[in-house]
Structure 1
Amino acid sequence: MTPPYFIEVLAANGDVLQRQRVEHLPIHIGRGYGNDFILDDAHTAERHAVVESDDNGNLVLHDLGTQNGVIHLGKRQLSVPLSGTTVVRLGHTRLRVRDAAFPVPPEVADTTMHAWEGGAPALAGVALIALFIGAEAALVDSDTESFQTIRYLLLIASGIAGGLVWSGLWALANRLFGGHARLGRHLFILGSGLVAAGAWRVVSNVLAYAWSLEFLTRYGNLVTLAIICGVIFFHMRTIKPRHARPLLKGCTVLMLLGSGLILASNLQSSGRLADELYMSVLLPPAVRQSPDHPVRDFMAEAAKLKAQADTARARAGKAGVDDDDGD
């Protein structure tokens, strides 16, 4: 082992909370001021442990007969060999000890958009939220042809306030687990997600009506759910940019569970998996691009449905008669 030595206090997720350099061995650890490394932990003793070198020159941590001891891999140990990756718990404090020769991983490429910080993404996010709220209100009022400025302003203000609360919670998590709040980025992520959801709603309705692609509206809630999961993914990736793969897996599982709940709810309420039984949005005829079907095709389909209904009714009646005969 090569001096100096470094004692690191770790968070539960492995992040380094504190690092102290010690020039020599042995290293005394405890709550008392006479130690080389002082623990601010009421669950540790005045002289809790000592780090020494064994006969082979490797570091070993010894418990000094304390009440709570030294915990390694969930078990109390009197002595624990330290390899540099070994994590021990003293009271409520997680520690590891490394020497100056401990290898570090290669430099990570900096993919952070440092120019996209602070006010710029915040203003863009607020603008996108306002755009979404205003466009949604305009679509709702398109049938009534009424425009009330104060109503629009109140809706936009309430929407921005809600967006600030949502983004503020993510910024708080970012501050706690990522070191920086990045409120502006979280506002931009939320605004982008809302605009994407609104754009999908408009585009799916137009495509479904123009080319008879009813599945776009019948299962449109699944796409909206995917957009929501995408927003959550980018929020979490802003907090932990190096954990993109596990975060993506978690959001995928969330989307699959949510999709199952949506389909099950549709099946229970209407007997079908689709969100709606028929296309609920009708646009001007000029938007229609799919060729019209002649009346005879409609009558033929209606005759098939009538035949199926008659057959089902006859079977139900026969089953009722058989039950009466059995009684």
Structure 2
Amino acid sequence: MGGRTVSAGMLALLQAIDRNGQLAGRLDVSRWPVTVGRALDNDMVLGDSHLAASHLRIDRSPEGEVRVEVLDTANGIALDAKHYMRGEVFVWPAGTVLSLGRLKLGLRLAEEPVAAEEPLAHFRWGTVGWTLLAVGAMLVAVVFEAWLMYTDTAQLPGQLLGLIALVALVFPVWAGFWALLTKLFTGRLQFWRHVRIACASTLLVQAAVALCGMLAFMFSLENLAKFANLQILLGLAVAVYLHLAVVMPHSRRKLGGTVAGVALLLMVGILGTSWLQNKRLSNTLHMSVIYPPGWRMAPAVPVSQFLQEAGDIRRRLDQRLKDKDQDGEDMDVSGESE
């Protein structure tokens, strides 16, 4: 016995998918036009409360175009980045989906070719290898950076073990949080994918900070090293976007804009706070890492210029100390007068 046979009068298939990827409605189209909405007299009845009683009408022209008419709805219909409201008529291109309410509506015409069968997912040892490589590289980079910063060699082994234990705790919790969100929105956990994203993002930030510091030393571009906190913020924003792209793969453009906007606001806040507190945009006064002198590519500063700049710094410091002493005297006088 064969499988289910499609009737000769079946012209198309309509399917509505909710935000979790679950099937919310299906209609075997045997005639045109068809209507979609919440009312029971529609050809396709959907239960989303954000839909109108009669939300849209779908018809097909003699030339084969699929046309959609927006009916009596206040929320309208979205196709890609364009929104259509009550009374508008538009062509529905093949292979695209409509957004109505909280649902996605797809259409497959009878003459469209059927996509090839997808293979079942199998355990991928190559993915495990890449995950282990990412975790190992991240641990090596974190430990190496900490080793460069520690000065007490007697306590170094215990400090490194504590750092490794902290990383081993923080990264699974971070990846697990995003994995739970992915499970909630897509029905799949994808824990190890989030682990790879976290490790790759950490390596990217460390490499960017190290590269900027090296270029700052080589070419006397001190600002590249002074704003390392902004580089870390940008790296964190990229990591959050990559995580969110796994959680909500169909909204990557909106997610990118949202993450970029939040990161920009945070950058402005960091720079503004530093300026209000210190009258400069960066909290860092000097480079924290000095590289071998042979790496220098910028021309040497003449002694006269160095002495002049050092004198200017001395005068500014003296003026700041004078202003501070004056403020202290004013406070003392004010306290005595009371």
Give the alignment's TM-score, normalised by structure 2.
Answer: 0.60
1:66-85 paired onto structure 2 within 5 Å = 73=76
Say whether 1:200 aligns with 2:208. yes
Instruction: Supply the distance in 2 between the matched residues of 1:18 and 1:160 (Cα, whole angstroms).
Output: 41
Instruction: Supply the distance in 2 between the matched residues of 1:9 and 1:260 (Cα, whole angstroms).
Output: 42
Instruction: Supply the distance in 2 between the matched residues of 1:291 and 1:167 (Cα, whole angstroms).
Output: 46
CA contact (8 A) 2:212 2:224 kept: yes
Say whether 1:249 aligns with 2:257. yes
Say whether 1:11 aligns with 2:18. yes
Instruction: Supply the distance in 2 between the matched residues of 1:172 and 1:222 (Cα, whole angstroms).
Output: 29
The 1:128/1:72 distance shift into structure 2, 3 A limit, reads same
Q: CA deviation at 1:19?
A: 4.6
The 1:262/1:104 distance shift into structure 2, 3 A limit, reads farther
Say whether 1:220 aligns with 2:228. yes
Instruction: Supply the distance in 1 between the matched residues of 2:316 and 2:75 (Cα, whole angstroms).
Output: 70
Q: CA deviation at 1:101?
A: 4.8
Say whether 1:149 aligns with 2:157. yes
Q: Partner letter of residue 23 of structure 2?
A: L
1:39-58 paired onto structure 2 within 5 Å = none
**Range 253-262 or range 15-24, more displaced:** 15-24
The 1:53/1:268 distance shift into structure 2, 3 A limit, reads closer
Q: Partner letter of residue 255 of structure 1?
A: A
Aligned to 1:260, the other structure's residue is in SS state: helix
Unaligned runs of 5+ in 1: 30-35, 42-47, 55-69, 75-82, 108-113, 318-327
What residue in structure 2 maps to residue 45 of structure 1?
none
Q: How many correspondences in the alignment?
A: 293
The 1:176/1:306 distance shift into structure 2, 3 A limit, reads closer
Q: CA deviation at 1:216?
A: 1.0
CA contact (8 A) 2:99 2:105 kept: yes
What residue in structure 2 maps to residue 120 of structure 1?
129
CA contact (8 A) 2:209 2:231 kept: no
Q: Partner letter of residue 3 of structure 1?
A: M
Q: CA deviation at 1:294?
A: 4.1
Instruction: Supply the distance in 1 between the matched residues of 2:179 and 2:213 (Cα, whole angstroms).
Output: 35
1:1-327 paired onto structure 2 within 5 Å = 3=10, 8-12=15-19, 15-20=21-26, 73=76, 101=110, 118-141=127-150, 143-146=151-154, 148-241=156-249, 243-283=251-291, 285=293, 288-303=296-311
Instruction: Supply the distance in 1 between the matched residues of 2:313 and 2:58 (Cα, whole angstroms).
Output: 86
**Range 176-185 or range 238-247, more displaced:** 238-247
CA contact (8 A) 2:25 2:46 kept: no
Q: Partner letter of residue 183 of structure 1?
A: F
Unaligned runs of 5+ in 2: 1-8, 37-42, 60-72, 78-90, 117-122, 327-338
- CA deviations 1:30-71 (Å, max 9, x no partner) are xxxxxx999999xxxxxx99xx999xxxxxxxxxxxxxxx99
Q: CA deviation at 1:184?
A: 2.0
Aligned to 1:278, the other structure's residue is in SS state: coil
Give the alignment's TM-score, normalised by structure 1.
Answer: 0.62
Q: CA deviation at 1:263?
A: 0.8
Instruction: Supply the distance in 2 between the matched residues of 1:169 and 1:309 (Cα, whole angstroms).
Output: 48
Instruction: Supply the distance in 2 between the matched residues of 1:195 and 1:88 (Cα, whole angstroms).
Output: 38
Instruction: Supply the distance in 2 between the matched residues of 1:185 and 1:23 (Cα, whole angstroms).
Output: 40
The 1:177/1:230 distance shift into structure 2, 3 A limit, reads same
**Range 164-173 or range 304-313, more displaced:** 304-313
Q: CA deviation at 1:104?
A: 9.8
Q: CA deviation at 1:168?
A: 1.6
What residue in structure 2 maps to residue 63 of structure 1?
none
Aligned to 2:23, the other structure's residue is in SS state: strand
Q: CA deviation at 1:212?
A: 2.3
CA contact (8 A) 2:27 2:44 kept: no
CA contact (8 A) 1:221 1:275 kept: no
Q: Partner letter of residue 296 of structure 1?
A: S
Instruction: Supply the distance in 2 between the matched residues of 1:104 and 1:226 (Cα, whole angstroms).
Output: 44
Instruction: Supply the distance in 1 between the matched residues of 2:281 and 2:114 (Cα, whole angstroms).
Output: 50
CA contact (8 A) 1:8 1:16 kept: no
